[in-house]
Amino acid sequence: MQDSLEKVKEAIKEETTSILDYTFKFSDEISITVKGLIFVAVALLLTAFALKLVRRFVTRKMPENDKVKFISVFSYIRWLVFLVIFLVAMDASGVNVTAVFAASAVLLIGVGLALQTLFQDIISGIFILVDKSVHVGDIIELDSKVGRVLDIRLRTTRAVTIDNKVLVIPNHLYLTKILFNWTENGTETRESVSVGVAYGSDVELVKKILIDVTKDHDKILKIPEPKVLFADFGDSSLNFKLVFSLNNSFETRFVQSDLRFAIEKAFREHNISIPFPQRDVHLYQNQ
C-alpha cells in the first residue's frame, strides 16, 4: 500500500514537472517554458503590490493638491518600472531578450515612429506637473482658444471653454506653442474696450462717460480703478481705450458687450458721435 502511494506521488510529481517544463517555442532562438511564464506573472504581481505600497506610503501625509500631482507623475513611472521588471523577468526565465528585440526590430521601429507623438505628449505631461506651469482650474489661452483646465491626464489636458465646450489639448503643444496662463498671477485680469469719437469732441467728457459706465457694472472691480487711455489720433477718429479689472476672465466678452451698449447709449445722450472711416476723393479732368 505504501509503495502504491509513493508511486502515485512520483507520477504526479513527474507530471507536474513535465507541465512546468513544457516549452512554447516561437523560433529557434525564442522560447519560454510554462514555469517561466508563471515566474514573469508573479514578478509583475509582486511589482504591482510593491508600487501600491510605495504610493500609499509616500502620499499618506501629502496635501490633497500635491497628492494629485504625485499620483499623476507616479503613473508614468509605474509603467516604466513594469517594463523593466518584465524584461528582467523574461531574461531570468531563460528567454533570449536580445533575440526578441532583434526579431521585432522592424516592428519596433514602426511602432516607435507611430508612437512618437504619444511619447512627446507623455513627457510633456510630466514637465507640466513638475514645472507647475499649468494647474487644474487655471484659465489658459493656446492658439487663440481659451479654456479653464479641468484635469491633466497621461496624454492630454482637458479644458472647458467660455462656450462650455471641452478642449482636448495634446500635452506636447505646451512645448511647441506659446501658452498664455491668464491666472498664473491670480484670478484678477486686466481687460479693455476700445472706442473712437469724432474730431472736435470734448475729450474730458468722453473720459468721464467711459469711467461712469464702469461704475454701474457689478462685475468690474473698484480697485484697481478703471482707467481711460487716449490711445491715438486716428485717421477719422480720436481713439480711446477703457481699461478695467475682472475677477473672472470667463465673463470678459459679456462685460465688454455690456460696456459697449452703455457707451453707445451715453454717447447718443451727450451728442458724441462715433465716426466711420472717411476719405476725400479728388477727381482731376485731363485737359
Q: What is the CATH number of domain 133-181?
A: 2.30.30.60
The residue behind cell 479732368 is 285
Ramachandran angles phi, psi of 235, nearest 5°: -65, -40
Which DSSP state fits 226?
P
Class of the CATH domain delimited by 189-269:
alpha beta
Predicted pLDDT at 137: 83
Predicted pLDDT at 65: 63
Question: Could you give the residue range(s) of every CATH 2.30.30.60 domain in the chain?
Answer: 133-181
Strand 179-181 and strand 189-197: pairing?
unpaired
Count the Cβ atoms, other than its own, within 10 Å of residue 71: 15
Starting from the edge strand earliest in sequence, which strands make up the sheet with 156-161, in order? 166-170, 156-161, 145-152, 139-142, 179-181
Predicted pLDDT at 16: 56
Spans in the chain with pLDDT lower than 70:
1-32, 34, 36, 64-66, 68-70, 72-73, 94-116, 118, 278-280, 282, 285-287
* pLDDT tens digits, 238-251: 999 999 998 887 88
Question: Could you give the residue range(s) of every CATH 3.30.70.100 domain in the chain?
Answer: 189-269
pTM, to two decimals: 0.55
